[in-house]
Structures are given as C-alpha cells and as structure tokens.
A = this chain, B = another copy of it.
Amino acid sequence: MRPIPVDDPTDPRLAPYTAMRERDLVGREGRFIVEGEVTLRVMLSEGARFRAESVLLAPERMEGLAELLADRPEGVPVYVAAKAVMSAVAGFPIHRGVLAVGLRGAEPSLALPPAPAPGLVVGLVGLTNHDNVGGLFRNAAAFGADGVLMDAATCDPLYRKAIRVSAGAALTVPFARLPDGAALLAFADAHGLVPLALSPAGRETLTDLTPPRRALLLLGTEGPGLPRELMARARTIRIAMAPGFDSLNVATAGALALHHLAAGRLG
C-alpha cells in the first residue's frame, strides 16, 4: 500500500491525531500515540506487542524510513502531511515529523515462566510521573525483566511521553495492572517471587543481597515511598549512598536494583 498524501488538517482519517495534548489527559478509547523514529521502529518491528492503526509522517522523513515502511504489517496506512498540517492537527508544533497511532487491544495480563525458572518482575506502586514510569520500562528492558506490574495509582505506560522516555520499551516489556500493593504481593505469592521493597529505610544493603532466583522488585514514589504495610511484608533493600545526600531518582534506583538482581543473566 502506497503512502497517502493528506493536505487538510480536518481530514477524518487524521482524527485520532487531533487535539493531542488534551486527549493525552482524557484517554483515546483503546488507542495511543507514538512519536519519533525510535519508538515507531519498535512498534512496527516483528513480534511487536501492539498493533499500529496508522502512521503519519512529514514528507522529508519518508526516505529515511522507506525500508521500515516497506516491511510494515499489512493494512497499516501511512499518511503523509507537511509538518504545518501535522502541527495543525496535533495542536502544537510537531518538530520531528513522525507520529503513529497504536491500538491497545485487550487489557494485558502478565505470564511468567513457572518456577524453578528464574523470574524478575518490577512492581510500581503510586508512580504518577510519566518520565519515571517510562524510565523504569527502559531499565526493565535493559536488564531483561520479565514484566512490570502497576497498581491503579501508577500512570499509564502508553502515555505519549512515557513511551518516548522508555525508548520504546513500554511497547515491548509485558505489563499488567492490578488494583493495589496487596494484589502485587498476592501475585508474588502465587508465582513464587520474593517481594523486595526498595527504600532508603531498607534493612539490607543492595550489594550485600544475594539475588533471589525469582523476585518482585517493588518501587514507590520518591517522596512518601512505599506504603508501610507493603514494606512490612517484603524484604526491604536500600542502596548505599554518600552521607548527607540520600536521594536518587526512582528510575535510577530501580536500574541499580535490576542490574544487581539480573547479574549472571546479562550479556
């Protein structure tokens, strides 16, 4: 299927791209937006978790992406519009000229290889910052975690900015939503994962921890941290820091823990 030129910002085929920032907030009825080449490549790659509905490119981006587009899954239209048209549709300046719409599909669940296979799952509790959630997906991918569980308060990993910050990992790392921390612990119990709560108040130091063969790494917000009742039911781990500055970004802290827990399984 050949690229389809579009000149009119009100063309109904571009409807999913309209009022982009406003709809970031209210949701898109089963759709999400991907922006930039890195994340588009991930979404169109073989075995991708989410199906693309359409792609919208500035004409000057066509040549560099020709090969990728030739190999794209069947039935995904590619619309081509000048950046001024793209910007008029989106409602703000589109600098990179690469957008796509993905389809969320059925609400995903998380399948794990059964014990005694090794297992490593990240559990996010109350993380409302899209940069942090995106960063944690990127780190989960980098260190080969099997998936990410999120409580109801944690923000959407398929939010536009979270996908971008994840370098596309939000489109590849399996994830599932559970109601709360107690449900995350029940998941750990059912799947034979040792719950590890990362916290500045942790009792064990990360570097002294022998990585459990199967683990659920629990992460909370930087300010209030993980709920006390969750901490009470997990092994609590802290990262050693310099005196007087006990502060790491949660995605960074998660990377340190994942790197340690995955040691021996990395290339």
Task: Name A's B-contacting residues (CB within 8 A).
Answer: 135, 138-139, 141-144, 167, 169, 172, 207, 239-243, 245-249, 251-252, 255-256, 259, 262-263, 265-267
Contacts and interface: CB of A to CB of B under 8 A. Distances in A.
A241 B267 contact: yes
When all copies of this chain in the complex are counted, the total is: 2
A108 to B, nearest CB: 19
Contacts of A247: 138, 141-142, 167
Contact of A243 (B255, B259, B267): B267
Contacts of A245: 141-142, 144, 169, 172
A15 B135 CA distance: 38
A142 B241 contact: yes
A265 B243 CA distance: 10
Contact of A139 (B139, B142, B252, B266): B252
Nearest to A254: B252
A141 to B, nearest CB: 4
B207 A242 contact: no
Contacts of A142: 241-242, 245-248
A186 B69 CA distance: 48
A245 B45 CA distance: 13
B239 A259 contact: yes
